[in-house]
Amino acid sequence: MQTAIKPKHPIKDVLAEEVRSGISNCYTCGSCLSECPVNLATDSLHPRTMVRMVSLGLIDELVHSPEIWYCISCGRCEQACPMSVRPARLISAIRQEAYTSRVLTLDKQWRLRSVYSQLHRVRRQVVELCFNGEPIPDLTSEWRRLAEAPFSGGFEKTQQPARMNSSRAARRAARNYLGFPNNVDFCFTCAECSNACPVACGRVVFDPMWINRMAAYGFLEEILRSPSIWLCIKCQSCARACPQQVKGHLVISRLQELAIKDGFIDPALHLHWSEMEKLVYMQFIREIDAVCKE
C-alpha cells in the first residue's frame, strides 16, 4: 500500500522567502539542466525538478533524497536561468532542512563534506594523468587512493612550447579572452576569488588567486604547465566575489587557450580529459549514494 503524499506548503513558503529563490517564476525551460556540470556528466542532478517539487510543497521527499547532495554549489544553474530562479540557493536551504530535521547523522554530514573535497582532488589527479598520457585507474576501487595521493609538479610529457619573448609580452597575452578584458592586472591578492570558488578545496588543488597573480606577472610557462587551470568549472563565482572586477573565469579560459595554442597541451588529450571527467563525476555520485544509504 502506497503512502499518500502530503505536501508541506508552510515549509515551502518559508524556504522560498528565506532564500528568495523565485520558484514561482520557473516555467521549466531546462536552462539549469544544460548548465549543471554534474547533470551534463551523469544525468543525475535535476535542479528544475527540485524547484517544481518545492513549489508543490514536496519537501519531505527532497529532504530524504540523495540528489540534494549531488549539487557542488557552483551556481551555474542560477546564471543560466532567464527568470532569475535560484536553484542552488534552494538546494542549500533544503540541505539545511535535512540538518535541522536530523535526517542525517553528524557523522554522515562530515563524510559528505569530505566527498566534495575528494571530488576535486581526484579531478586534479585525473587531469594530470590524462595530459601526461598515463592510464586512468579504476575509479571505483581507486577513488580514495587518488584523493589522498600527493600531487606532482605538473605536466611532463608535453611538447616543447614556444616561449614568450618577455614577461611583458606574456602579460599582454594573458590580459583578454576573445577580445574581452579580464582585468587581471587589477588583482591585489585579497583572496576573495579563492574563498568563493567551489573548486578551491585546498590551495594545492586549485587557487584562483595564485593563477591570477601568475598571469599578471607573466609567469605563463609555469602556469600553463599546471593541471590546476583545467579544473575551473566556469561558474564565475570568482568574478562575482572580486572587488576589483577581475574576471577570473576569463583569465583561466585564456590560459587554457594559450596552453593548447603554444603546445603545452595536445588537443587530443584535452578531449580525453573531457571524457574522463565525466567518469569522475559518475563515481562522485556513487560515493554520495554510498554515504546516504548507510
Average pLDDT, the chain: 88
Q: Is residue 285 pLDDT above 90, yes or no?
A: yes
| Cβ(79)–Cβ(235) below 8 Å | yes
Do domains 9-103 and 159-265 share one topology? The answer is: yes
Q: Where are the domains of the chain?
A: 9-103, 106-152+269-294, 159-265
**Residue 138 phi, psi dihedral angles, 5° rounding:** -65, 115
Share of the chain above pLDDT 70, in %: 89
Q: What is the Cα–Cα distance from 167 to 165, expressed in whole angstroms?
A: 7
Helix, coil or strand: residue 180: strand
Residue 76 to residue 55: CA distance in whole angstroms: 21
Asked if pLDDT for residue 226 goes beyond 60, the answer is: yes
The yes-or-no verdict on residue 221 having pLDDT over 80 is: yes
**CATH class in words for 159-265:** mainly alpha
* Residue-level pLDDT at 100: 86
Residue at grid coordinates 514561482: 24
For the stretch 4-62, pLDDT in tens is 555 555 555 656 555 566 788 888 999 999 999 999 999 999 999 999 988 888 888 99
Pick the CATH number of 9-103 from 3.40.50.150, 1.10.10.10, 1.10.1060.10, 3.30.470.30: 1.10.1060.10
Residue 247: its pLDDT value, please?
Answer: 96
pTM for this prediction: 0.88
Which tens digit of pLDDT belongs to each residue from 251-280?
A: 999 999 999 988 888 888 889 999 999 999
